[in-house]
Structure 1
Amino acid sequence: MQDQPSRRQFTRLAAATAAAITFKPFYILKASPKADGETIGHGAYRYKVHQGWGNLDAAQFPVNNCHEMVQDSKGRLIMVGDEVKNNILVYDRSGKLLDSWGHEFPGGHGLTLWNANGEEFLFICDPNLGKVFKTDMKGKILLTIEHPSKAGAYKETDPFKPTESAIGPDGTIYVADGYGSNWILRYTPKGEFIDKFGGTGDEDSQFSTAHGIAIDHRDKANPTLMVTSRAHNAFKRFTLDGKYLSTIFLPGAFVCRPVFKGDQMFAGVCWSRLRYLNQTPNSGFVTILDKSNKVISNPGGTKPVYQNGALQLMVQEKPIFMHCHDVCVDNDENIYVCQWNAKKTYPVKLERV
């Protein structure tokens, strides 16, 4: 299954999906799962749910929204959230807390790990502050990217609410203004503005909630940029200098950032279209795509179905998750799920079976 390359095909698939759901309302769900200890997913990508994996003493280490998680070269799992008592929680793979820090990120949202020739750094996006911070692994701020108007890239009145960053092979910093003006901004490794592309709209090269961004190294000779267009239920692929290439349409799935592990692409789905094709609260799941960008498993969601090469509507099947905001995949291919607006729950582990 190749990337769907055109806006016309996007529209045609959306119309076909709407027609199909009129006659097959399988989104009316009645499942009452055990949840903890249950096995979810499809095909070769099935997982046992460990809901209490990341639970901590909420009085000492509270969370509000668990936004994103990355794994460093030491195997530590590093989570960012928007609770200023401890924006960063560092776990080992057993769920034990190793460290906590960070009090200055009231909107702590995007977390990117950059390994620069063996030295690791974090990039933290805070849409509340309208800034992106590069830090060392202990939280020392080394670089701050502020409102693009300071570089002449925005008007002062243009909203800038960055949600995610990615670092290119040459150190170029990409910032997704997902809650602001939907531009993807490029900066030098020193934080100097280069240019921007995208913006808000329904053209192929534009975005509706450019929530996530990552470098796709699966074709090692030709890395590309994968960008979320969440309200379009899509990922969009670009060259590293910002030229639009294609769209991966994921009908029903309000996906967050793309996460690559091996030949697979993983993503948390924050909402699905459970009711009358509307964005429905508490309807998240996880989706997994193969190297050809075909969906192969939806842990917590309906089994992916293709008809005449077109992916059909995907929705939550079992109410295990509320709003899956991010996933982190460890070296044993276990998945750790961070949730937004989920009653202040800690990350959930999905153990590969």
Structure 2
Amino acid sequence: MERRTFIKNTGIGVGALVTAKSIPFQILSSKPKLDQTILGHGDFKYRLERKWGNLNPKNHPIKNCHEMVMDKKGRLLMLTDHEKNNILIYEKSGNLLDSWTLNLPGAHGLTIHDEGDSEYLYITDSSLGKVLKCTLSGEVILTLNPPNKIGEYRPDMSFNPTETAIGPNGDIYVADGYGSQFILQYDARGRFIRKFGGASILKEDRFQQAHGVTLDTRDPNNPTLLCSARMKNAFKRFTLDGKYIETYYLPGAYVSRAVIHGENLYSGVCFGMEEGDYNMKMNKGFVTILNKENKVISNPGGNRPKYKQGKLQLMLQDEPIFKHCHDVCVDNDENLYVCQWNAGGVYPYKLHRV
């Protein structure tokens, strides 16, 4: 809180110290253009900056802003499914530093992992059925063998991966969220270990749209996996060897991947509902934030979370700020960057913590 208060009172941010030579793609503005609306609840409230990530679409076109991660240098790397620039690299001020592409038409999931010698990106392309490991500059160094090529899927089973997570020992977990609904585990060299999950509406240890998988290290002595079951409005917790533990039900929220920052969990809600109509609705996105007890404490863009007799009540979009929130990135000042799918080509929004 002291750091945020200092920045708020002085008006000085990290971006104000950047020289003109380091911002070849955008001109640094004197101060962000913040919306007057306060989003969120309790201690997790934010001011919106809609134009934070805006670029010239002729030079850096996007289709969908799928996911974003932050590296050790504080750079924000965002994945798009536009073949001209799969990766856009921003400063926290919103200035573009670099861009590159792997010519992936369905780039969807982006995970960063520090392996000691360097940081690496893991990228999924759900349309091509590819899972790639590459350097931060885009050099591909590992491609996983898809399960239908190594006898782990029947010929009639589809493989359309949406996300990865990296275990404490380097194991690679792949969520087949648009395919056959399994979480697949490989070792660090890409050798297949096991799969778990699969499709089911009723079974607790299975998925309907296993959209995300995340390593949860909030209990350092017992790291686990948090897997999204988007169509079930839930996160499901598993051990690292695929044993089901529990479900966190988030009524009304068709969640994307879980993002762990400090003691809290953040997620973009891609689709929502309407009061009295419990079918999935387009253009009803918001952000949801859970504390270390996995209780919802804030819904930026959504209604205030309410619990009755310990049960979370229906969560709905409260303001039409977002269309479809596909991912959230949290920086070291606890500001949020929201990536959207199917949102009219908008670049990421920044939510400034207040």
TM-score by length of 1: 0.89
Match of 1:8 in 2: none
The reply on whether 1:190 has 2:198 as its aligned counterpart is no
Match of 1:225 in 2: 225
Instruction: Give the aligned residue type for 1:108.
Output: A
Alignment of 1:88-99 (within 5 A): 88-99=87-98
Following the alignment from structure 2 to structure 1, what is the Cα–Cα distance between the partners of residues 156 and 98? 39
Match of 1:81 in 2: 80
The reply on whether 1:211 has 2:211 as its aligned counterpart is yes
Following the alignment from structure 1 to structure 2, what is the Cα–Cα distance between the partners of residues 134 and 155? 25
Match of 1:344 in 2: 345
Alpha-carbon contact 1:81-1:87 (below 8 Å) kept: yes
Q: 1:286 is paired with a residue of what secondary structure?
A: strand
Alpha-carbon contact 1:42-1:297 (below 8 Å) kept: yes
What do residues 76-101 of structure 1 show as CA deviations (whole Å, max 9, x unaligned)? 00000100010100000000000100
Match of 1:20 in 2: none
What do residues 273-315 of structure 1 show as CA deviations (whole Å, max 9, x unaligned)? 1251111110000000000000000000000000000000001
TM superposition shift of 1:157 = 2.5
Alignment of 1:1-353 (within 5 A): 36-201=35-200, 202-274=202-274, 276-353=277-354
TM superposition shift of 1:36 = 2.9
- Structure with bigger RCO (C-alpha 8 Å, 6+ apart): 1
Following the alignment from structure 2 to structure 1, what is the Cα–Cα distance between the partners of residues 91 and 211? 27
Q: 1:109 is paired with a residue of what secondary structure?
A: strand
TM superposition shift of 1:151 = 1.9
TM superposition shift of 1:35 = 8.8
TM superposition shift of 1:147 = 2.3
Following the alignment from structure 2 to structure 1, what is the Cα–Cα distance between the partners of residues 256 and 34? 22
TM superposition shift of 1:348 = 0.3
Consecutive unaligned residues in structure 2, runs of 5 or more: 1-32
What do residues 52-110 of structure 1 show as CA deviations (whole Å, max 9, x unaligned)? 00000010001100000000000000000100010100000000000100142100100
TM superposition shift of 1:118 = 4.5
What do residues 313-335 of structure 1 show as CA deviations (whole Å, max 9, x unaligned)? 00100000000000000000000
What do residues 224-259 of structure 1 show as CA deviations (whole Å, max 9, x unaligned)? 100000000000000000000000000000000000
Following the alignment from structure 2 to structure 1, what is the Cα–Cα distance between the partners of residues 270 and 329? 15
Match of 1:13 in 2: none
Following the alignment from structure 1 to structure 2, what is the Cα–Cα distance between the partners of residues 253 and 351? 23
Following the alignment from structure 2 to structure 1, what is the Cα–Cα distance between the partners of residues 52 and 36? 11
TM superposition shift of 1:145 = 1.4
Percent of residue pairs bearing the same amino acid type: 55
Alpha-carbon contact 2:214-2:227 (below 8 Å) kept: yes
Following the alignment from structure 1 to structure 2, what is the Cα–Cα distance between the partners of residues 35 and 179? 36
TM-score by length of 2: 0.89
**Distance change in 2, residues 1:118/1:307 (3 Å):** farther
Following the alignment from structure 1 to structure 2, what is the Cα–Cα distance between the partners of residues 122 and 262? 21
Following the alignment from structure 2 to structure 1, what is the Cα–Cα distance between the partners of residues 186 and 160? 16
Alpha-carbon contact 1:35-1:320 (below 8 Å) kept: no
Instruction: Give the aligned residue type for 1:140.
Output: E
Following the alignment from structure 2 to structure 1, what is the Cα–Cα distance between the partners of residues 113 and 102? 22
Following the alignment from structure 2 to structure 1, what is the Cα–Cα distance between the partners of residues 175 and 77? 21
Runs (4 or more) in structure 1 with deviation over 4 Å come to none
Alpha-carbon contact 1:37-1:50 (below 8 Å) kept: no
